[in-house]
Every structure is written in structure tokens, then in C-alpha cells.
Amino acid sequence: MKFIDEVTLFTASGHGGAGCVAFRHEKFIEFGGPSGGDGGKGGDVIFVATSGLSTLLELRHRPHQKAEKGHNGMGKNRHGAGGEDLVIKVPVGTVVKDAETDEPLADLTEDGQKVILLKGGRGGQGNARFATATNKAPKFSQPGEEGEERKLRLELKLMADVGLLGLPNAGKSSLISKISAARPKIADYPFTTMVPSLGVVAYKNYRSFVVADIPGIIEGAHAGAGLGHRFLKHLERSGILLHLVDISWMPERDPLAEYQAVCRELALFSPELAAKEQVVVITKTDLPQTQERLAEIRAWFEGQKITVFPISSATGEGVEALLDEIARRLWADRDKG
């Protein structure tokens, strides 16, 4: 399925039904009086989060959505039926914004969470409502209220406890496939991962956490280089960021400069995201060239008071210690909460 994480919708709630002008006409009943019923309420526009969806693809093909209008009132004091609500199902983690002002309207973070964003118009009153002692036969009624219209932008932000961050080919997809059942494409060329993916890590004592893998970030992403900043929003909900660093390319490339470049790109995208807790993971320790320079690179990070976890997704070396550290930090935060 194609991964779509942004879509624009033109939505409208239903108009209220018009009130009716009618009079009672029955044999042997003189001056039956007004009997016009009220119009029905227009349908609301309701957004519902569901864990059964993982993309906004379906909505992309139906950009115009409108709730049903209320039915008009009828004679014999019969009220019109209310319009059917428009229920729009979205994946958990969807943020709904006003497309014109960029104002956040709803953040749907739980399965089954429901929010009414556009309310249907009220139905107009029939002429039976306006009968008084001085006006026993009113010949007027109310029209129904108009519904609301709004242009909305939906953004999906993946719900994950841990986010994987790093340059292309740093080993992010290899790691998520090692620790979870996720099977992203893995190859030895840049930008193998083109869309984000989620993996559930089954930890000890029946505990689990969710990891998000996004396409690699390169220097200049804020200016559109590579795949740009588009997918960084999927890390905003993560409690911990794993920053994967590949040192096997030394001395052709400087991994420390690349690490700092990715951190700068984070700050340019969102200072809040850049301030999140990071764990540095040095990958591909099964390679001889990585082992040769591991001590040097590790010393630099520890000099910056940054804890480093060397791992190999191919052999599994260091992976269990990394998972233990992630679990310790995650559940320490949850216990505090």
C-alpha cells in the first residue's frame, strides 16, 4: 500500500432542513390551526481514529466530503429527519489543521478517539411554533441554518516510542528488522528506505515498545536535499531517538562531522525535536574497518558525555544491551509519569 501522510480535504457539514408552513384540514374541524413541523438538523463532520489504518491514501482520492442535509418539516406536525453524520476514519496519530491558518484543530492519538469538527446546521421551526393568541394562523416558518465549510489539512505522525535517525545506509532498516517483525527493504545503496515503517519490539516480561524507521537525513535536507525534512515529523512523538552512526567509511568520510550535520538538520526542522534525548549507536561492528576506529570514535563521544552503544545487526552483537538501555529509559520515564 502506498504510504500517504498528508492530504487536504474540503469538508462541509449538512444544512438544516426548512420548517414547514401547513394547516390542519379535517372534516368537521373548523380552524384546525397551523401544523407545520420543524426541519431536521444537518449532519456533523466527525473524525475517528482507528488502529486499523496506517495511511491517508483513501482520503486522497476523495478530497470533497459533505455530510447529509437535514430533511424539511412536513404537515401534521411531522418533523424532518436529521441528516446523517459524515464519519471520517483516520489512522491513530493524525493531526487535523485548518488549511488556511495552519491552526491545529485536533490531535487523534488514541484508538477510537472521536472529535466533531464541523457541526450541522439547526433545522428551521415550522409555523406551528409561531402560533400565539394574537396570531393563530402564522403563514411563515424558519429556513434551516447553513452548515459549516472548512478546508482541512491532515498530517499523519507515526506513534512510536523510539525513533531511528541517521544518514542513508547507516543501518536503520537492518536494526529494525533485527529487533522486530518489520521487513523494510535493505540494500547497500543510499535511500533504500523511501517511506517510514513501524516495528513492535517484544521485550522481556511481556513488555513491548514501538520503533519508527524513517528515510535517511543528509546535510542540506532543510533546503530540499535528499528527501528533505518531510519525514522528520514522524519522530516528533518518539520519547527517545537512536542516532545511528556508520564509521566503516573512514577515512573517506568523517562520521563525526556527519553526526553534527544531522543534529543541525534536526534543529533547523524543530528545536523541540533536536532537544529530545538521543542514544548514539555505532553500527556494523562486524566489519574490520569499524573495529579499527571504534575506540577513537567512542572516546570522542564519551568526551562529549554521550553514551555510545556499538552493535552489529548482522551478528546481533550489542543489540541486547541496546534494548536493555532503551527499556530502562522508556519505563523510567513512564514510571515518573
Which residues sit in the known binding site for Mg(2+)?
173, 193
Burial environment of residue 284 by CB neighbours within 10 A (0 to 12, 13 to 18, 19 or more): buried
Binding residues: 166-173, 191-195, 213-216, 283-286, 312-314
Annotated binding site for GTP: 166-173, 191-195, 213-216, 283-286, 312-314
CB 157 within 8 A of CB 233: yes
| Strands of the sheet with 86-91, listed across from one edge | 86-91, 45-50, 114-118
Q: Quickly list DSSP for 146-213.
A: P--EEEEEEEE----SEEEEESTTSSHHHHHHHHSS------SSTT---S-EEEEEE-GGG-EEEEEE
CB contact set of 321 (below 8 Å; sequence gap of 6+): 309
Query: If you search the block for the grid coordinates 514522524, which residue do you land on?
Result: 234
- DSSP summary character for residue 251: T
